[in-house]
Amino acid sequence: MNSNTLKKLKRTIYPRIYLYAIVLLLFAGCKLDNTVTPSPAVKATSNSYQPVTKGSYWKYNYTQNNISDTLTLTMTGTSALLYGETYYEGLNSFQSHKFPDATCYFSQNNHIYNKLTIASADTVNQYYFNDTTALNSTWMAKANNLGHINGLEARFAGQIVEQNINLTVEGVTYTGVSHSKVYLQYSSGEGYYTYATYDYFMVKGIGIIEMFYVDTSGVNISEGLMSYSIK
Reduced to 3 states (helix: H, G, I; strand: E, B; else coil), residue 42 is coil
Domain range enclosing 16: 3-229
How many CB atoms neighbour CB 2 within 10 A? Answer: 12
Read off the pLDDT of each residue in 199-216 and give the average, rounded to a whole number. 97
Residue 44 DSSP code: P
Residue 211 to residues 13, 208, 224: CA-CA distances in angstroms?
25, 7, 7
Query: The CATH number of the domain where 29 resides is what?
Result: 2.40.360
Which residues fall within 8 angstroms of residue 197, CB to CB, at 6 or more apart? 181, 182, 183, 184, 213, 214, 215
User: In this predicted structure, what is the pLDDT of residue 45?
Assistant: 52
pLDDT digits (tens, 9 = 90+) for 70-114: 999 999 999 999 878 899 999 999 999 999 998 999 999 989 999
What confidence category does residue 44 fall into, taking pLDDT thresholds of 50, 70 and 90?
Answer: very low
User: In this predicted structure, what is the pLDDT of residue 12?
Assistant: 35
**How many domains does the chain contain in total?**
1
Predicted TM-score (pTM) of the model is 0.82
Does residue 223 surpass a pLDDT of 80?
yes
Residue 159 to residues 24, 64, 152, 212: CA-CA distances in angstroms?
22, 24, 23, 15
